[in-house]
Amino acid sequence: MSTSRIPGFYKLSVQERLSRVKDFAHLDDESLKNIRKRALSVEQADRMIENAIGIMEIPLGIAINFLINGKDYLIPMATEEPSVIAAASNAAKIARDKGGFSVSTTEPLMIGQIQMMCETPEEAKSAILGAKEEILMLANEQNPTLVKFGGGAKDVEVRIIETSMGKMVVTHLIVDCRDAMGANAVNTMCEAVAPLIEKLTSGKVYLRILSNLAVKRLARAKAIFSKEALGGEMVVDGIIIAQRFAESDVYRAATHNKGIMNGISAVALATGNDSRAIEASAHAYASFSGRYRPLTTYEKNEDGDLVGAIEVPIAVGTVGGATKVHPTAIANMKILGAKTASELAEVMASAGLAQNLAALKALSTEGIQRGHMSLHARNIAAMAGATGDAIDEVARIMVKEGKIRVDRAKEVLEELSKRG
Ligand code: MEV
């Protein structure tokens, strides 16, 4: 079996990296082409969205070293932010020493909401719950394919909520979406059962829409990060102190969770999934207890190693939507080799945990700016006109001097060219 542990991957040329990825994932020529060159045509873009005028490109990279439930993964990540992919790869390398990430998911259950107002909310609730089987049957008639694959509407729950306009009766349709993200399937079912709910209650239905708070579709990942690989006991303690900060302070928790989403959203984007749905879900879940909290936890075990864990709702699909339309997303799914939406969610949870561990490690030791700056310096060097090896040399000199500016990059470039 191929390994995702590829020492020196970052030092290879783009072409060499792609060739390693090709060997790992047995990629066909079509997929290679769709990764290397712009794959989405303007015509396709015009069919995907309205008022299309072109295509906006984002860098695509590969996070290495991930061992998840004993399986090696190369993880495609689409992001405009430097350091994200290096950070995830470094944390995955540390986790690997102790067996990598252990992951699991709940069933892929989504919630559809049907909002209703009526004179007698309690009676309406009983009537809806009394007609559960009829509601489920009507919902499932909308999507025989999903039912055939073992999914479909599975349950009905009713909540009565207090609002500034009085009580509202909110019916939740619980739908097993299998390998689909499920927004379309759930919305169609909600719209189909709404007239029945009105008939059962003499109420008036308003919204019929999926909830992006996917509390029944959770992904979990856990890993042990050894104190030796982290850099010692002080680093373990530093990460735990950072964790306690996030647990007690919403300002820090928001940033902590943003770092987690750097990993999760980059995989969502690379695989053509709805990153906004995942972000909304994660942040709402973070405040589900009534207080906004970090999505990860960290504890020290009896060996003094750090045990990190994440629990986060991840509603993704491997069928439907852009996942099966965008040629690069299709190729990225081949690299990832995730067979189901649950497996994809487990990989994403691992990427989120890795990202967070790397951020906390950097923040509680040297800070994140040094790592950021060397990448930033390479960009500045290129902006100043450096090409090839000169980019690294100009960047190295600027970082050493602590002067990362285009004017300085131009001077250094001139000095280098004089030296020949
Ligand atoms: C930057 O994109 C993400 C971090 O701010 C996350 C964190 O502070 O934990 C580094």
Say if residue 299 is in the same domain as residue 242.
yes
For residue 45, the CA-to-ligand 1 centroid distance in Å is: 32
The answer, yes or no, to whether any atom of ligand 1 lies below 6 A from the CB of 256, is yes
CA distance 266 to 289: 27
The yes-or-no answer on residue 81 being catalytic is yes
Q: Considering the entire predicted model, what is its pTM? A: 0.93
Residue 372 clears pLDDT 80, i.e. is over it: no
Say if residue 152 is in the same domain as residue 173.
yes
For residue 70, the CA-to-ligand 1 centroid distance in Å is: 28
Residue 46 clears pLDDT 60, i.e. is over it: yes
Say if residue 240 is in the same domain as residue 334.
yes
65: helix, coil or strand?
A: strand
For residues 293-305, give the mean pLDDT: 98
For residue 84, the CA-to-ligand 1 centroid distance in Å is: 9
99: in domain: yes
Say if residue 160 is in the same domain as residue 180.
yes
Confidence of residue 1 (pLDDT cuts 50, 70, 90): low
Say if residue 249 is in the same domain as residue 300.
yes
The yes-or-no answer on residue 392 being catalytic is no
Say if residue 352 is in the same domain as residue 379.
no
CA distance 272 to 318: 9
The yes-or-no answer on residue 16 being catalytic is no
Q: How many Cβ atoms are within 10 Å of 392's Cβ, its own excluded?
A: 14
CA 363 vs CA 239, 240, 344, 367: distances in Å: 8, 12, 28, 4
CATH code, 397? 1.10.8
The DSSP output letter for 217 is S
The residue with greater pLDDT, 85 or 369, is 85
What pLDDT, on a 0 to 100 scale, did the predictor assign at position 412? 95
Using one digit for the tens of pLDDT, what is the confidence trace for 195-232? 999 999 999 999 999 999 999 999 999 999 999 999 99
**Alpha carbon nearest to ligand 1 atom 9, residue:** 256
- Which range is least confidently modeled, 28-42, 99-113, 302-316? 28-42
55: in domain: yes
For residues 234-259, give the mean pLDDT: 98
387: in domain: yes
For residues 349-377, give the mean pLDDT: 89
Among 71, 167, 258, 403, which one carries the catalytic annotation? 258
The answer, yes or no, to whether any atom of ligand 1 lies below 6 A from the CB of 254, is no
Among 72, 176, 179, 274, which one carries the catalytic annotation? 274
Say if residue 269 is in the same domain as residue 384.
no
Containing domain of residue 289, as a range? 9-106+217-365
Say if residue 124 is in the same domain as residue 152.
yes
Say if residue 271 is in the same domain as residue 341.
yes
Computed over every residue of the chain, the mean pLDDT equals 96
Question: What is the share, in percent, of the chain residues with pLDDT greater than 70?
Answer: 100
Say if residue 296 is in the same domain as residue 247.
yes
What pLDDT, on a 0 to 100 scale, did the predictor assign at position 181? 96
Total of domains in the chain: 3
Domain boundary among 331, 348, 365: 365
Q: Which of 98, 180, 100 is nearest to 146 (CA)?
A: 180
- Which range is least confidently modeled, 132-136, 323-327, 344-348, 366-370? 366-370
